[in-house]
């Protein structure tokens, strides 16, 4: 394939995996627990926290985690209680996240001197992560085999030189992960836009972009419309395309409280995960015994990518019940006053047959009717979802269908009801609020331009997938990442690796070594930064940063540990130093921003934020209030819908029909219980009965038997997309409770199977939940 060419439907590509397909031993398959939590969760938390951080250090960090006077969890974005918080306000995976950051292990220059880049690339992601905290800025010279130390000044000068040598600012890409604080994110986007581009792809492009697109269209706000307190008033909580027990474990406490007071909880997911079966609260020992608190009142085992079909079935049943007893099911007043498009929606739904619904969903009509009966009685319904919806081919349409369901009963903008997209990373929502977005609104650019007296670019930039293509075809030449593990998080691993290798320079601001550092441009920099757990001491004294959780609460975060190395800089300081180096001698931009003053005192950053972004008035005072403050939400607070029609919008979404070949399966990528995003904490998945390995594929026993295979056998996974094939080698079959025709396997190992051109319609998110595969036996 030529350097400038992108894959076309006629290309025949057999792509090897970038992650080594070997593991230290054969995965062990054991008992699948009937409940999440309990004593095993405590043992796991302590083993990770104390094993990496030590007894005193680890315990102290856990007791500060998610406290009003402590630091925000570097893991998921589930909100903290507004009022009283428990002494141990953390979950098992939060403890693992803190252990990873507070570890006493160090990835020193000696590590890089002893191991070449090519040798490090043969390590598993687990082994790479366990190397420890980065301690010094590192540079890989052009043609070199090993990283070596570089001074901070030289690193900034090198980066600035490469940026200023580009023909256009649009030849650079500036990526952001969801861990970056509000303060760092605001300065980062300010620097990038002052540099002259809106090429600001971020991890939202790969997770909840579909949510933002759909919710903006139909509700006028790209965020959820509930607070944590709403769960105390919900009659029904629908969890669809989400696994709370592994991805957002603290959510289980909220669900347990709802279940105990009698709320109905419906689970719609290909896997009946342990966390929605039952929960044993780890901090309430009297609940460790027995079967735990049942969570889901009903589970619908939908086939992969069949969620729209299930939702249409529920909607048909609700309309039928309303026809039998007018006024008893639908909120007619809300529909008439606050919505539009109902008649077209209802007419289109009438034309959808039950035969198609059952075939596409894999769920019987009786199961769908049972869910509709529960929803019919509910006067306050919350729908929660995550990647299971957003990363399927029709993810935007699926979320529009969720909103159709909420609108029928008026379940928006009142207590106990609303839309709840559950964000994955701790400040991914805050980063977007701060302006980390490749498609900024004209209003945002206008306010930014007014505050800094500069004409910032309005032309839309590149999202994550577009950035990969641009690097691959040579039009993007410098890649800068503020956090994250870009290679392991993105699709089409080998294609993305080729794209990164095609650049002049790759720069990664990181706390720990990851695989993206080992797949680089002509030269590469690793810039080590402070973590959430560490004291951020600047000229004006210790600094606090702030984050926004899944429900729009902005709160302070202050670390307490000494920095892992005297060489570390904060993300804020890195941005400011880079900006000074880049704009030095440029009379039009050099003095637009007092970068050194902002780096010395983060209150000054928050003051500028308060002038630009709505809802941040008196930011410095409000963020210091214990527990923080809520950002305004027009839908939640006032049932105001800033859509094209100023009303909430019913939509017509065609029923997807997916035709699979006789030997084909539909694969979705999932996390194990021993990972967070691309960080691998361990090689076990306790809630699915897998230990000592990750290269497994979960299949229905009937699918295994039909192919003449057997449980425990090794197979290669081959994906198929528009005539292309991609290969992920050596996965062990695990027969599991999953719908016929569906399969599941862990990412990032299976990201190699996701074509970079297979994206969600409307959001351009990679389709990690719609991968057509076949199986090939291997030795």
Contact 726, 755 (CB under 8 A): yes
Average pLDDT over residues 716-739: 95
The answer to whether residue 710 sits within a structural domain is yes
The answer to whether residue 301 sits within a structural domain is yes
Q: What is the 3-state secondary structure (H, E, C) of 93-139?
A: HHHHHHHHHHCCCEECHHHHHHCCHHHHCCCCHHHHHCCCEECCCEE
- pLDDT value of position 8: 34
Asked if residue 299 and residue 246 are part of one domain, the reply reads yes
Asked if residue 476 and residue 386 are part of one domain, the reply reads no
How many Cβ atoms from other residues are within 10 Å of residue 110's Cβ? Answer: 10
User: Helix-strand-coil percent breakdown of the chain, rounded to 5?
Assistant: 35, 20, 45
Asked if residue 561 and residue 582 are part of one domain, the reply reads yes
Lowest mean pLDDT among 451-460, 569-578, 656-665: 656-665
Average pLDDT over residues 563-570: 96
Asked if residue 243 and residue 98 are part of one domain, the reply reads no
- pLDDT value of position 10: 32
Nearest one of 717, 724, 738, 723 to 664, comparing CA atoms:
717
Average pLDDT over residues 31-50: 67
Asked if residue 388 and residue 258 are part of one domain, the reply reads yes
Counted domains in the chain:
4
Asked if residue 365 and residue 353 are part of one domain, the reply reads yes
Dihedral Cα 486, 492, 494, 496, nearest 10 deg? -40
Q: Of 87, 102, 117, which marks where a domain is finished?
A: 102
Strands (DSSP E) contained in 645-709 are 648-649, 665-670, 675-676, 679-680, 690-691, 696-699
Asked if residue 52 and residue 115 are part of one domain, the reply reads no
Asked if residue 497 and residue 591 are part of one domain, the reply reads yes
Contacts 24+ apart (CB under 8 A), 609-618: 609/182, 609/183, 609/186, 609/434, 611/447, 611/451, 612/186, 612/435, 612/444, 612/447, 612/448, 612/451, 613/433, 613/434, 613/435, 613/444, 613/447, 616/554
Contact 509, 527 (CB under 8 A): yes
- pLDDT value of position 293: 85
| Best mean pLDDT range from 81-90, 120-129, 150-159, 559-568 | 150-159
> For the segment 64-107, what is each residue's pLDDT rounded down to a tens digit?
556 667 666 676 778 777 777 665 656 677 777 777 888 899 99
* Residues 6 or more apart whose Cβ sits within 8 Å of residue 138: 109, 112, 147, 148, 149, 150, 525, 526
Lowest mean pLDDT among 47-61, 461-475, 696-710: 47-61
Checking if the pLDDT of 15 tops 60, the result is no
- pLDDT value of position 1: 28
The answer to whether residue 428 sits within a structural domain is no
Asked if residue 467 and residue 594 are part of one domain, the reply reads yes
Lowest mean pLDDT among 147-161, 334-348, 418-432, 756-770: 418-432
Asked if residue 448 and residue 509 are part of one domain, the reply reads yes
- pLDDT value of position 61: 60
- pLDDT value of position 252: 87
Assign residue 547 the CATH number of its domain. 3.40.50.740
DSSP β-ladder status, 505-510 and 523-528: parallel
- pLDDT value of position 452: 97
How many Cβ atoms from other residues are within 10 Å of residue 614's Cβ? Answer: 12
- pLDDT value of position 176: 96
User: What is the reported pTM?
Assistant: 0.93
Assign residue 390 the CATH number of its domain. 3.40.228.10
The answer to whether residue 505 sits within a structural domain is yes
Looking at per-residue pLDDT, the higher value among 6 and 621 belongs to 621
Q: Return d(Cα 341, Cα 214) in angstroms, integer.
A: 15
Lowest mean pLDDT among 126-130, 280-284, 605-609: 280-284
* Residues 6 or more apart whose Cβ sits within 8 Å of residue 65: 71, 73, 89, 90, 94, 95, 98
Give the chain's count of helices (H) and strands (E): 30, 34
Average pLDDT over residues 491-517: 96
Average pLDDT over residues 682-708: 94
The answer to whether residue 652 sits within a structural domain is no
The rounded mean pLDDT for the chain is: 90
Q: Of 365, 393, 422, which marks where a domain is finished?
A: 422
Contact 230, 382 (CB under 8 A): yes
Q: Which domain holds residue 414?
A: 210-422
The answer to whether residue 645 sits within a structural domain is no
> For the segment 632-654, what is each residue's pLDDT rounded down to a tens digit?
999 999 999 999 999 999 999 99
> For the segment 279-292, what is each residue's pLDDT rounded down to a tens digit?
777 666 555 566 78
Asked if residue 599 and residue 526 are part of one domain, the reply reads yes
Assign residue 672 the CATH number of its domain. 2.40.40.20
Average pLDDT over residues 453-464: 97
The answer to whether residue 431 sits within a structural domain is no
Whether omega before 776 lies within 30 degrees of 0, making that bond cis, reads no
The answer to whether residue 427 sits within a structural domain is no
The strand pairing partners of 715, in sequence order, are 731, 777
Asked if residue 535 and residue 397 are part of one domain, the reply reads no
Band (49; pLDDT cuts 50, 70, 90): low
- pLDDT value of position 45: 61
Q: Of 47, 79, 102, which marks where a domain is finished?
A: 102
């Amino acid at each position: 394939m030529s350097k400038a060419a992108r894959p076309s439907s006629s290309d025949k590509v057999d792509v090897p995996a970038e992650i080594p397909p070997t593991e230290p031993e054969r995965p062990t398959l054991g008992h699948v627990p009937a409940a999440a939590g309990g004593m095993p969760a405590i043992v796991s938390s302590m083993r990770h926290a104390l094993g990496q951080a030590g007894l005193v250090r680890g315990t102290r960090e856990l007791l500060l985690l998610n406290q009003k006077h402590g630091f925000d969890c570097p893991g998921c974005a589930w909100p903290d209680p507004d009022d009283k918080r428990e002494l141990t306000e953390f979950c098992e995976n939060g403890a693992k996240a803190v252990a990873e950051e507070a570890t006493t292990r160090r990835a020193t220059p000696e590590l890089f001197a002893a191991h070449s880049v090519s040798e490090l690339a043969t390590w598993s992601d687990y082994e790479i992560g366990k190397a420890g905290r980065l301690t010094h800025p590192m540079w890989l010279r052009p043609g070199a085999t090993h990283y070596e130390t570089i001074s901070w000044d030289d690193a900034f000068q090198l980066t600035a030189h490469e940026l200023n040598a580009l023909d256009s600012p649009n030849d650079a890409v500036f990526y952001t992960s969801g861990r970056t604080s509000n303060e760092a994110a605001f300065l980062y986007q300010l620097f990038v836009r002052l540099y002259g581009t809106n090429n600001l792809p971020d991890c939202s492009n790969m997770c909840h972009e579909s949510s933002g697109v759909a919710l903006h269209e139909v509700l006028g706000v790209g965020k959820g419309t509930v607070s944590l307190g709403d769960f105390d008033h919900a009659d029904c909580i629908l969890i669809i395309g989400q696994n709370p027990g592994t991805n957002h474990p603290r959510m289980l406490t909220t669900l347990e409280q709802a279940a105990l007071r009698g709320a109905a909880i419906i689970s719609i997911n290909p896997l009946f995960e342990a966390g929605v079966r039952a929960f044993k609260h780890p901090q309430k020992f009297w609940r460790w015994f027995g079967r735990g608190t049942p969570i889901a009142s009903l589970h619908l085992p939908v086939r992969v990518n069949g969620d729209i079909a299930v939702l249409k079935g529920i909607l048909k049943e609700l309309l039928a019940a309303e026809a039998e007893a007018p006024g008893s099911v639908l909120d007619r007043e809300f529909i008439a006053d606050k919505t539009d498009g109902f008649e077209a929606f209802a007419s289109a739904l009438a034309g959808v047959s039950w035969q198609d619904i059952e075939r596409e969903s894999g769920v019987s009509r009786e199961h769908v009717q049972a869910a509709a009966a529960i929803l019919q009685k509910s006067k306050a319904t919350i729908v929660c979802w995550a990647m299971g919806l957003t990363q399927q081919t029709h993810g935007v349409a699926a979320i529009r269908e969720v909103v159709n369901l909420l609108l029928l009963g008026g379940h928006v903008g009142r207590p106990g009801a609303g839309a709840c997209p559950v964000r994955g990373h701790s400040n991914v929502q805050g980063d977007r609020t701060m302006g980390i977005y490749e498609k900024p609104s004209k209003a945002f650019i206008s306010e930014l331009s007014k505050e800094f007296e500069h004409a910032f670019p309005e032309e839309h930039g590149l999202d994550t997938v577009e950035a990969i293509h641009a690097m691959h075809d040579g039009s993007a030449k410098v890649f800068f990442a503020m956090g994250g593990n870009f290679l392991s998080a993105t699709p089409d691993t080998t294609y993305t690796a080729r794209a990164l290798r095609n650049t002049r320079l790759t720069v990664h601001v990181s706390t720990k070594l990851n695989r993206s550092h080992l797949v680089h441009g002509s030269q590469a920099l690793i810039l080590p930064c402070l973590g959430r757990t560490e004291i951020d001491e600047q000229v004006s004294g210790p600094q606090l940063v702030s984050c926004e959780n899944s429900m729009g609460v902005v709160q302070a975060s202050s670390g307490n540990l000494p920095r892992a190395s005297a060489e570390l800089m904060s993300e804020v300081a890195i941005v400011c130093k880079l900006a000074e180096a880049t704009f030095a001698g440029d009379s039009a931009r050099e003095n637009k921003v007092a970068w050194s003053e902002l780096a010395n005192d983060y209150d000054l950053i928050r003051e500028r934020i308060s002038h630009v972004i709505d809802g941040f008035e008196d930011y410095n005072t409000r963020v210091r209030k214990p527990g923080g403050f809520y950002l305004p939400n027009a839908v939640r607070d006032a049932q105001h819908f800033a859509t094209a029609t100023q009303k909430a919008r019913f939509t017509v979404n065609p029923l997807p029909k997916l035709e699979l070949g006789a030997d084909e399966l539909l694969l979705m990528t999932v996390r194990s219980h021993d990972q967070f995003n691309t960080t691998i904490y361990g090689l076990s998945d306790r809630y699915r009965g897998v230990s000592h390995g990750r290269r497994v594929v979960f299949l229905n026993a009937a699918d295994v038997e039909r192919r003449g295979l057997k449980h425990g056998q090794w197979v290669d996974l081959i994906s198929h997309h528009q005539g292309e094939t991609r290969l992920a080698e050596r996965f062990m079959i695990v027969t599991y409770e999953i719908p016929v025709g569906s399969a599941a396997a862990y990412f990032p190992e299976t990201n190699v199977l996701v074509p970079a051109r297979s994206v969600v319609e409307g959001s351009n998110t990679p389709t990690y939940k719609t991968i057509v595969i076949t199986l090939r036996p291997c030795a």
